[in-house]
Structure 1
Amino acid sequence: MSSDISNEYFCDGLTEEIINALAKIKQLSVTSRTSSFYFKNKTVTAEEIREKLEVATFIEGSVRASKKKLRITVQMIDTVDDFHFWSETFDRNPENIFEIQDEISLFIAEKLREHIGHLEIEDKLVEPIDIPVAIYREYLKGRYFLMKLGYDNTYKAIDIFEGIIKKAPNFPNPYLDINQGYVYMGTMGLLPAFEAYKKAQPYLQKALELDPNSSRSQLNLAWIECWQNWNLKKAYEHANNALEIQPADDIYLTISNFLTVEGKLDAARNYLDKALELDPYAAINHHYKGFLYYLKEEYETAIPYLKKALELDPMLPFPPIYIGISLLMSGKPNEALTYFGSLKGISVKDLTKLGGETMCYAKLNETEKCNDGLKELETYLTTALVDKAFTFLILVNALLGNNEKVVDFVTQAYHNRLPLILLLNPSPILKPVKNHKGFKDIMLKAIPDNVNYKQKKKYKQALLDANEIKKYSKELDQIMIDYKLYLNPDLSLKDLASYLELPVNYVSQLLNLGFQKNFSEYVNSYRVKEFKERILLEENKGLTIMAVAYDSGFNSKTVFNTFFKKIEGITPNTYLKSNS
């Protein structure tokens, strides 16, 4: 609420820290930064926020700052009844910023616990950083520009972070942020991927020396292991480490990326849905949902998600590619050609317009125009746009049926270690080339655990050994806790199998040997536990037993009563009376 723009950086930084702090509490599902900030400075009702973010509770507040005084107001609002639970004002010294962030985060967590029930809360949610407040304020300015994205904003942020490193060389965050900035530009095609990753590497290395165990350090390592080192096993290890430290939408999105590379599209969508739940206004999450539908050849379904991504961030470079290709592959080449021809701005600079039109000419059998496009694309192979040039050259030649040419370009891209190789694996346009020995050899070198080429396991008497049963049992329990799958009354054995990426027969055996239960017994045991917790909550006192049972995932009175008595040894009514 202050006129000085520098206080906006401070306010955004404070908000982001509180979001990150609350996200550390395992039992809470906290909407991520992008979607929270979407409502900044907008007049919206509690009902709109409930519908758009699907949240039961939200926190809002304001910051008024001067050199000597900081006034922060915070209030908590129930989105169902538009009821203000509490409002608090903190008058503090700006020099104590880290203590303030921790104090407010803990205060909110405690108030949430009073309102929604027991939460495990650590003694500290925000660790202090050993740097002067003036430098921290400058750091928040850098974060402000980094999160605005785009080429100019990212370089502006990098310049600020470089200045901070000179003043505070042992502060790990700016190193991580510079690394993130370069990786973002390489991934988005704003810089050649190889050049961007090379620039990013020393900054990450230094950050790891200073703080190897932060969630962001582990996430950055996951990116490197996948896109630079092509080591998916290590990439998953680091991503899961990051998820354990702090569940966040960008970590779920990252794991979805890795699963996509392997061709495990159903599992990738499960992780992506979790990312969208936490950050429904992140353009990249909507883009990736559309991209997954494109890979599954559900082109009509893909387009609305891709358009939503552009609506949220018109500068995002990927959606135009796949909107145009989805039109092309769904039998609308002329419509696709019109779409690519209408592109302006970043899509022209990054070859989307040229590459897309050339693909359309290939499909429309306009040989001369297609050849002209191919020749022009080849001129970019020695420029900063080499990644996009190779991508379109491969796709156009695949549409033309020039399989040998496709393999030649794929081989060149492989030897140049271009990240695009990994996303060729699940591409529907490359289906006709997938059995070509040269293409198959490269895909297996890049992705050894490649579901497109690995032979399926033959069924045997014991489908899973003892170690696998132990491993997958733990994994399944964690999935049930994280995703609360049991709340879906239509949950099936097939659904569980998709989350574990195992055949249905394997999961059936896993439940029998690992839990000594069949599917219904396993899922309904979670539902009974959920019911026992919900029925005793003050807020549910006015509900009938069956209303709470339905909220807990049951869809039949008979099944509920039968399973409850089987598991608890008493009827639901008796349980309620004995615990009232």
Structure 2
Amino acid sequence: MRVIDKKSIAVLPFVNLSNDINNVYFCDGLTEEIINALASIKVLLVTSRTSSFYFKNKKVTSKEIREKLKVATFIEGSVRTSKNKMRITVQMIDALDDFHFWSETFDRNPENIFEIQDEISLFIAEKLREHIGHLEIEDKLVEAIDVPVAIYREYLKGRYYMMRLDYKNSIKGVNILKEVIHKSPNFSNPYLDINLAYVNMGTMGLLPALEAYEKAQPYLLKALELDPNSSRSQLNLAWIECWQNWNLKKAYEHANKALEMQQTDDIYLTISNFLTVEGKLDAASNYLDKALQLDPYAAINHHYKGFLYYLKEDYKTAIPYLKKALDLDPKLPFPPIYIGICLLMSGKPNEALTYFGSLEGVSVKDLTKLGGETMCYAMLNETEKCNEGLKELETYSNTDLVDKAFTFLILVNALLDNNEKVIDLITQAYNNRLPVILLLNPSPILKPVKNHKRFKDIMLKAIPDNLNYKQKKKYKQALLDSNEIKKYSKELEQIMIDYKLYLNPDLSLKDLASYLELPANYVSQLLNLGFQKNFSEYVNTYRISEFKERVLLEENKGLTLMAVAYDSGFNSKTVFNTFFKKIEGITPNTYLKSNS
């Protein structure tokens, strides 16, 4: 069971206590703004919107929040409005010990909407710091937007409908947001939200993908023109660089910039996507775990966890995650593809055929049923039915479903051992710049062609840093050069901050290496040259810092020094005392007395 980080928090949706439906939009908007504001505070783990809003209009106990969201603290509140007055009540609850340790009522003018958001976010951050320990908090967490309050309220209304994610409400939200743009053309948020609405509709099969992405593109470009430096803009740029421009180096740059601004699950998921493209599946899993920690009720996070297990050929473990994704969002189009393929690759072609045959709705429209059944016929040696399926799939190769059609054509031919045909199809997909190319690299079904020269050439052109084909060249007998040491040192420090690996008393050099996707001997060299420390010195330095922070907390005053040391990652009294004196020059007891 994962230990709950004391610097973790969830903001539950604020409750509307007014009769006015328009106040619902404000309540949701206020909740989102507080989540975004708190997410900008370094080292604070903030549950993402999807998981917070999972509990909207549900009565839940402190224990349920602690167990389901794995947070130490949560916020709940309510909003009541009248003509000239708004009353916002906010409470902060310690989920670990189940008590309300702070509540406040804000009576404010509804017109001061941006000041209210910033004031409440800062107040929460300050009270949180008093309760859990030091946090670096900026003077402002929510920047005022240069639009009239009435238009901002309309924006919140549009976003409210857009985030309901079905076709009817998405279109309604888009139309409201277009009207907001007409009134305030320099307001960047509605452009980003319209872009997101179309991308979501294309991804979920509510619109043809090509049509949806074409509609989304101009809104994204305008948003980037107006505000290129927000975390959302940087994240969108990362997606463009990867999936449209096939430039992973720039994609990582934008994604890491976004991560520096905010630690959100969609940024961690995005980086996991990029690592998957390169074939770095262990590192992708690590980043995906972080996304799941921040948003355990996001269907796409569970789907991707299952997808990574599929790529690792652990089909039995993959299926429950894929089914959990469908439980959370039955309209998500991706999980059915891989549930069926996992059954197929587990040696259960008849069970897979039954599963694909039972699919309805979105899955029919996006070729999952047709493609899945054709794959099953290939495995069952039902040649006539397989050829019929291939012919029908080929009819979609010049339509909006071209990417999905090529995916299944490639996979079916791979199962039939038509390796030359597979390479021909991959060449066509590459020449047409189909995004499917980027997900062929780690596919277990394509293992028979991965050593084919033409396949290697295409993969290296599409993904220059391809792990499968460049790793041996990359790690020569020569030592890491100075640029690599600088790059990996920065990555390692960020990983230690994000994941707090040092709290694991059994942490090994090999464990550390898996997060960097480097051989253990290279990480050993990196520690020596980049930090002038061996593995034990490096990790125990973090543990000493953790101990120094924990031992001074009011909540730990009843614990012995060694109890705090064990909580900080040490598993030996001798090692703890030796390292503490070596680093601090005094004993732990002397340190405590001098700082009490």
Q: TM-score, normalised by structure 1?
A: 0.97
1:101-250 alignment, distance < 5 Å: 101-250=117-266
- Letter of the structure 1 residue corresponding to residue 25 of structure 2: Y
Whether the aligned pair in 2 keeps the contact of 1:265 and 1:292 (CA below 8 Å) is yes
CA contact (8 A) 1:282 1:312 kept: yes
Alpha-carbon distance in 1 for matches of 2:403, 2:169: 22
Question: Deviations for 1:153-181, whole angstroms, at most 9, x for unmatched residues?
Answer: 33332222211111110101111112222
What CA distance in whole angstroms lies between the structure 2 residues aligned with 1:530 and 1:430?
46
2: CA distance, partners of 1:67 / 1:90:
16
Which aligned pairs between 1:216-295 and structure 2 lie closer than 5 A? 216-295=232-311
Q: Does structure 1 conserve the Cα–Cα contact (< 8 Å) formed by 2:162 and 2:197?
A: yes
Q: What's 2:9 paired with?
A: none
> Deviations for 1:248-306, whole angstroms, at most 9, x for unmatched residues?
11011101101101111111111111111111111111111110110010111111111
Structure 2 residue 43 is matched with structure 1 residue 27: yes
Give the conservation status (yes or no) of the 8 Å contact 1:55–1:79: yes
- Listed one character per residue, the Cα deviations across residues 476-495 of structure 1 (whole Å, up to 9, x for unaligned) are 22221222110111211112
Distance 1:441 1:460 in 2: 21
Aligned residue number for residue 42 of structure 1: 58
2:21 pairs with 1:16: no
Of 347, 363, 373, the match for 2:389 = 373
| 1:320 counterpart (336, 339, 343) | 336
- 1:395 aligned to 2:426? no
Matches within 5 A, 1:296-335: 296-335=312-351
Equivalent residue, structure 2, for 1:488: 504
Contact 1:197 1:228 in 2 (8 A): no
Deviation at 1:412, TM superposition (A): 2.2
Deviations along 1:510-561, whole A, 9 cap, x unmatched? 1112222111111011101111110111000111212111110112223222
Q: CA deviation at 1:194?
A: 4.1
Q: Offset of 1:197 from its aligned partner? A: 3.2
> Counterparts of 1:164 and 1:172 in 2: how far apart (Å)?
10
Q: Using a 3 Å threshold, how does the CA distance of structure 1 residues 461 and 424 change in structure 2: closer, same or farther?
A: closer
Check whether the contact 2:205–2:362 (CA below 8 A) recurs between aligned residues: no
Q: CA deviation at 1:67?
A: 3.9
2 CA distance for matches of 1:420 and 1:458?
26
**Per-residue deviation at 1:569?**
2.8
Shift of 1:509: 0.6
Contact 1:9/1:140, CA 8 A, preserved across alignment: yes
Question: Which SS does the other structure have where 1:88 is aligned?
Answer: strand
1:505 counterpart residue number: 521
- Aligned partner of 1:469 in structure 2 is 485
Deviations 1:9-34 (A, max 9, x none): 21111100000011111131111111
Deviation at 1:146, TM superposition (A): 2.4
- Preserved contact between residue 564 and residue 571 of structure 1 (Cα < 8 Å): yes
Residue by residue over 1:99-147, the C-alpha shift from the partner in whole angstroms, topping out at 9 and shown as x without a partner, is 1111111111111111112222111111111111221111112212222
Q: Please tell me whether the aligned partners of residues 281 and 308 of structure 2 are also in contact (alpha carbons under 8 angstroms).
A: yes
**Is the contact made by 1:59 and 1:76 (CA closer than 8 Å) also made in structure 2?**
yes
Contact 1:193 1:419 in 2 (8 A): no
Asked if the contact 2:204–2:331 (Cα under 8 Å) also holds between the matched residues in 1, the reply is no
Q: CA deviation at 1:378?
A: 1.6
Question: Aligned partner of 1:4: which letter?
Answer: D
Residues 192 and 386, structure 1, Cα contact 8 Å, conserved in 2: no
Runs of at least 5 residues in structure 2 that lack an aligned partner in the other structure: 1-16
- Secondary structure of the residue aligned to 1:456 is helix
Name stretches of at least 5 consecutive residues in structure 1 with no aligned partner: none
Query: How many residues were matched structurally?
Result: 580
1:434 matched residue in structure 2: 450
Deviation of 1:409 (Å): 2.0
Change (3 A) 1:396 1:385: same
In the alignment, is the contact (CA less than 8 A) between 2:276 and 2:442 conserved in 1? yes
| 2:593 is the counterpart of 1:577 | yes
AA at the equivalent of 2:488: Y
Between 1:462-471 and 1:257-266, the stretch displaced more is: 462-471
**How do 1:340-359 residues align onto structure 2 when only pairs under 5 Å count?**
340-359=356-375
Asked whether the 8 Å contact 2:201–2:212 carries over to 1, the reply is yes
TM-score normalised by L of structure 2? 0.94
Please state how far the C-alpha of 1:183 moved relative to its aligned partner.
2.8
Deviates more, 1:136-145 or 1:305-314: 136-145
Instruction: Letter of the 1:451 partner, please give it.
Output: L
Residues 190 and 398 of structure 1: CA distance in aligned 2, closer, same or farther (over 3 Å): farther
Q: What is the deviation of 1:188?
A: 4.0
> Is the 1:192–1:387 Cα contact (8 Å) retained in structure 2?
no
Structure 2: distance between partners of 1:15 and 1:286: 24
> Whole-Å Cα distance in 1 between the matches of residues 291 and 213 of structure 2?
25
Going from structure 1 to structure 2, the CA distance change for 1:171 and 1:252 (only over 3 Å counts) comes to same
CA contact (8 A) 2:210 2:400 kept: no
- The letter of the residue matching 1:278 is L
What residue identity is the alignment partner of 1:309?
A: A
CA distance in 2, matches of 1:67, 1:452: 64
User: What is the distance in 1 between the residues matched to 2:150 and 2:453?
Assistant: 60
Give a deviation string over 1:41-92, Cα, whole Å, max 9, x none: 1111101111111111100011223443322111000112211112111122
SS in 2 for 1:380: coil
Shift of the 512–169 alpha-carbon distance from structure 1 to 2, 3 Å rule, reads: same
Supply the AA of the counterpart residue of 1:322. Answer: Y
Amino acid at match of 1:210: L
CA RMSD for the aligned pairs?
A: 1.6
Which deviates further from its counterpart, 497-506 or 391-400? 497-506
In the alignment, residue 3 of structure 1 is paired with which amino acid? N
Identity %: 87
Query: Quick one: distance in 2 between partners of 1:532 and 1:56?
Result: 21
Question: Are the counterparts in 2 of residues 263 and 451 from structure 1 also a CA contact under 8 Å?
Answer: yes
Whichever residue aligns with residue 178 of structure 1, its letter is I
Alignment correspondent of 1:409: 425
- My pick for the range that moved more, 534-543 or 407-416, is 407-416
* Matched-pair contact (CA < 8 Å) for 2:297–2:328: yes
Question: What amino acid maps onto 1:98 in structure 2?
Answer: F
Are the equivalent residues in 1 in contact too, given 2:122–2:141 (CA < 8 A)? yes
Contact 2:202 2:210 in 1 (8 A): yes
Residues 46-61 of structure 1 aligned to structure 2 (within 5 Å): 46-61=62-77
State the one-letter code of the partner of 2:288: L
Alpha carbons 1:262, 1:450 under 8 Å: kept = yes
Selected match of 1:448 from 452, 464, 469: 464
Q: Taking structure 1 as reference, are residues 308 and 458 closer, same or farther at Cα in structure 2, changes over 3 Å only?
A: closer
Q: In the alignment, is the contact (CA less than 8 A) between 1:189 and 1:387 conserved in 2?
A: no
Alignment partners' CA distance in 1, 2:573 and 2:473: 41
> Quick check: 1:189–1:385 contact (8 Å CA) kept in 2?
no
SS of 1:90's equivalent? strand
Is the counterpart of residue 522 in structure 1 residue 538 in structure 2? yes
Answer whether contact 1:194 1:418 (CA < 8 A) is retained: no
Moved more, 395-404 or 405-414: 405-414
> 3-state SS of the aligned residue for 2:434?
coil
In 2 relative to 1, CA 66–415 (structure 1 residues): closer, same or farther, beyond 3 Å? Answer: farther
Bigger shift: residues 392-401 or 145-154: 145-154
Write the distance in 2 (CA, Å) between the matches of 1:268 and 1:35.
21
- Which residue identity does 2:548 align to in structure 1? K
